Amino acid sequence: MVREFKLPDVGEGVAEGELVSWQVEEGDTVTEDQAVAEVETDKAIVEIPSPVNGTVRELLAEEGEVVPVGNVLLTFNVEGEESEPEEEATESAEASTDSQEAAVEESSASADAEETETPEGRVFAAPSARRLARELGVDIASVEGTGPSGRVSEHDVRAAAEGATESEAEEESEAVETEPAESEPATETGTTGGGAATTAATPAQVESADRERTLAAPATRRLADEQGIDINAVPSTEERDGQAFVTPEAVREYAEAQQQAQAADAAAVATGETGPREERIPYRGIRRTIGKQMQKSKFTAPHVTHHDSIDVTELVETRAELKEIAEERGIKLTYMPFVLKAIVAALKDYPYLNSALDEENDEIVVKNYYNIGIAVATDDGLMVPVLKDVDKKDMLQISSEMNELVEKARDRTISREEMQGGTFTITNFGAIGGEYATPIINHPEVGILGLGELKKRPVVVEGEVEARYTLPISMSIDHRIIDGAVVASFANQLLEYLHNPRLLLLE
């Protein structure tokens, strides 16, 4: 029996996920809870487990494809279970599309059965092959299947589509040769310098459309996103309901023409000629998630940033003494555990900095627990793992758990739960270089502490200038809740703990 498996909601409010990699292939035998795929959603890559014992029948998405939650990801052959009724599968597929796109594909939704009825009889085809045939405008009944029992695969559909395209291209080529140059389609361009007309766009002369609205299938829109193309700029040769309709083939042709133009521009630059040198990268995934969060925070909370610095020579000496002891216990001790302990000690005296604003109920929620987020720069963007209940842990425990979270964030194995529930955040931009910054609050928190570079600077000690280790800080706060005097007092106390780390023994 066939069992469909839809992409589950792997986190709170997640609407889609990008398929990073398949962990199985068609025909593989799997057991319940075995990982079948890796999906990236928000800031984490998560493994998707199999819900059943069975055999992988068909993979319905390609690696790199963005799959909406609720869409069928793959199918299993399972013994002892009945297949999902055709009507339910069709309703589910229709419900997952936007209303505009549903109107485009509704007419072909009835072709979702494993056996498709055509005037010539039955056609055995995979669901993904039928979907691809609709997108490419191929009559599934005319496709010769090469699979078992004549089953039509995606490869067969593509081969049929390419064959049809080649035939059309030959016809167009013949028409161009017999018609005057003036009658050539607007999407074709001629060579410069009086050369013969060609059917392919010459480099740096790619014709683009300029529409505000375009009809296209969801897979076509995904293809355009993957190619970094604005679908409203793709020339259209079809219309539906009086509006331009773009096919996957049109997207591919437009992308290829752009690539040729870019290659020509690069060659021109290499020979000393000037030309455009831009690259378009899709704004999605982690980068888009970070951007949306930063935008929401910056335009929701009025930011004020307080800057200061302190002599931390004693902190450097203390850490040097304890570092060897920590290494004997297999733990790498950095300055961060001292900073985390100092933050919690200061937050206890300034509780409003460990709060959030409940805007719906007009209430300030003061939190009596201390979950500190630690911003980590990774190759895929900024991640903020959260170290829970810092006030209840000793220095070495903090160091061990923090190092583990940072490593998991960098290799993308961190879970969504490990990046939630923070009450205050710290970011260490000084590890890369720099003294001061204006860090953006991790909304809905109300404060974030930025650390500058810890290094020796000139300091006046008892009337004499000495080279001492100093630490600059930048503290941003939500001015709706925190006043400038409060953040200044908080910073003074925090810096006192870092100036004299022995005070932390009293906390």
Q: Which residues are catalytic?
A: 479
Answer for the pair 438, 448: CB distance below 8 angstroms, yes or no: no
Match 């909406």 to its residue by tokens.
68
Closest alpha carbon to 443 in 418, 426, 427, 424:
424
Which SS3 state, helix, strand or coil, does residue 189 take? coil
- What is the distance between the alpha carbons of residues 413 and 45, in angstroms, rounded to a whole number? 6
Tokens 């758990």 appear where?
Answer: 401
Integer Cα distance of 387 and 465 in angstroms: 39
Residue linked to tokens 């100092």: 342
Nearest residue to 340 via CA among 400, 291, 287: 400
Q: Are 364 and 490 in contact (CB under 8 A)?
A: no
Exposure on the CB side of residue 262, measured as CA atoms within 13 A: 10
Residue-wise burial string across 78-94, b where 16 or more C-beta atoms lie within 10 A, e elsewhere: beeeeeeeeeebbeebe
Beta carbons of 37 and 73 less than 8 angstroms apart: yes
Do 77 and 1 meet the contact criterion of CB atoms below 8 Å apart? yes
123 contacts: CB under 8 Å, gap ≥ 6: 115, 116, 140, 141, 143, 145, 152
DSSP 114-180: SEEEETTEEEEB-HHHHHHHHHHT--GGGPPP-SGGG-B-HHHHHHHHHHHHHHHHHHHHHHHHHS-
Order of all β-strands in the sheet with 54-59: 2-6, 72-77, 54-59, 29-30
Chain centre to alpha carbon of residue 305: 29
What tokens were used for 255?
A: 């992308």
d(Cα 436, Cα 470) in Å, to the nearest integer?
13
| Cα(144)–Cα(129) distance, integer angstroms | 12
Place of tokens 């902190």: 315
Coil, strand or helix: which one is 497? helix
The amino acid at 117: E
Residue recorded with tokens 């004499």? 464
Q: What is the DSSP string of 319-334?
A: HHHHHHHHHHTT----
